[in-house]
Amino acid sequence: MRTGTSLIQIRGLSKVFQSSSGDVHVLEDINLDIKQGEIFGIIGMSGAGKSTLVRCLNFLEKPTQGTVFFDNQDLSALSLKELYKIRQSMGMIFQQFNLLMQRNVLRNVCFPLEIAGIKKKEAEERAYELLKLVGLSDKAHAYPSQLSGGQKQRVAIARALANNPKVILCDEATSALDPATTQGVLALLKDINNRLGITIVIITHEMSVVEEVCQRVAIIDNKRIAEVGYVKDIFTKPTTDAARRLVFPEGKRVEHFTGNRCCRIVFDGSSSFEPVIANMVLEFRQTVNIIFADTKNIDGKAFGQIVIQLPEDKLMGEKMMAYLRNRGLTVEEVHDFV
């Protein structure tokens, strides 16, 4: 769904909060372009400034420096009334759903339409249409307390779509959900993106979420953008320590390699899991240790990686890596990822 046109442009954005103990620098010199129609991920560890950044995208938090351009409009130059109007084009989904507990599902979805001054009948027709889209037509008159976590998030998605937004901002939208429910919500977001062409920005600390649905990703580390690019490229050839740390799934990071030299082999979806390691061992008559192996789905395409310990003989190690590269695999020498 990407068109190449930037819907959101972040320029020189910094955010400083004042506290009794002094200034707290949360974001520093953030520059990003998010394209119309793409699913864009922003990932970082807790405290990296992700949630502050997403609130700066719609100026719920005003940047200390820099600005955000949305659909070619400089948000810093708009009046409060103009900002309210712009925010109707920016739906938001939160970790804790933020549903109104005293309202049923239908009235929750109608809420932003009421604020926008839409007549009740028209608002209800739109709400029923959206509940059908998210698979909750039969829950229109249920209350949030009667719903599962996944159903609550689907209601939140329907509500975010109510005003026909140009972008949906998802702030840790799946963090409170179990893995199976997360898969369902991500599949729904991907379907909405494909069918409606709505730009989606996903803020998360989970690389698996980014790999599942995002085309491009920005990695926040130490208050700045450490790396930005297509998810498959960052997985295949990460260029920063922050990106390399995220490549290894949580709980499976290599704490310390057992040899002086190791290499990481990436199967990028176009290559197959042929017995390439076994063939290499037969070719060079040298054994290697497999230290780590992992497979994953990135934007609907199978990717995998293997980390092996190379022989102590430097020349032999170089020959083995050349052998693997000649078979179309991405190969890089690696050290620690801690």
Cα–chain center distance at 76: 26
CA 99, distance to chain mean position in Å, is 23
CB atoms within 10 A of CB 13: 22
The two beta strands, 262-267 and 330-334, are antiparallel
d(CA 239, CA 243): 7
Give Cα 147 distance to the centre of its chain. 26
Regarding the domain delimited by 260-334, which CATH topology (the fold level of the hierarchy) does it fall under? Alpha-Beta Plaits (3.30.70)
Q: Quick: pLDDT tens for 257-277.
A: 445 678 888 876 665 556 778
User: What pLDDT was estimated at residue 2?
Assistant: 45
List the structure tokens of 240: 């920063």
Query: Distance (Å, rounded) from C-alpha 133 to C-alpha 147?
Result: 17
pLDDT tens profile 189-198: 999 999 999 9
Q: Which residue has the higher pLDDT, 12 or 173?
A: 12
Taking the C-alpha atoms of residue 240 and residue 226, their distance in angstroms, rounded to an integer, is: 7
Q: What is the pLDDT of residue 289?
A: 81
Q: Which string of DSSP letters, residue by residue, matches 171-217?
A: ESTTTTS-HHHHHHHHHHHHHHHHHH--EEEEEES-HHHHHHH-SEE
* Same fold? 6-237, 260-334: no
Average pLDDT over residues 170-193: 87
Q: Determine which of 27-36, 288-297, 309-318 has the lowest per-residue pLDDT on average.
A: 288-297
| Alpha carbons 225 and 42: distance in angstroms, whole number | 9
- The predicted structure's pLDDT at residue 271: 56
Q: What is the pLDDT of residue 127?
A: 94
Q: Which of 28-32, 58-62, 214-218, 277-281 has the lowest mean pLDDT?
A: 277-281
pLDDT, average across residues 275-284: 80
Q: What is the rounded average pLDDT for all residues in the chain?
A: 85
Instruction: Using pLDDT thresholds of 50, 70 and 90, give the confidence band for residue 279.
Output: confident
According to the model, what pLDDT value does residue 272 have? 52
What band does 4 get if pLDDT is binned at 50, 70 and 90? low
Which residue bears the tokens 């979806």?
A: 269
Q: What CATH number should be reported for the domain whose range is 6-237?
A: 3.40.50.300
For the stretch 64-116, pLDDT in tens is: 999 999 999 999 999 999 998 899 899 999 888 889 999 999 999 999 999 88
For 28, 218, 313, the CA distances from 229, given in Å and listed in that order, are 19, 7, 36
Which of the two residues, 303 and 144, has the higher pLDDT score?
Answer: 144
- Asked whether 69 and 224 are in contact (CB, 8 A), the reply is no
Domain locations in the chain as residue ranges:
6-237, 260-334
In the chain, the percentage of residues whose pLDDT exceeds 70 is 90
Dist CA 151 CA 157 (whole Å): 10
Residues contacting residue 45 through CB under 8 Å, at least 6 positions apart = 205, 221
Distance CA 63, CA 83 (A): 14
252: pLDDT confidence band, cut at 50, 70 and 90? very low
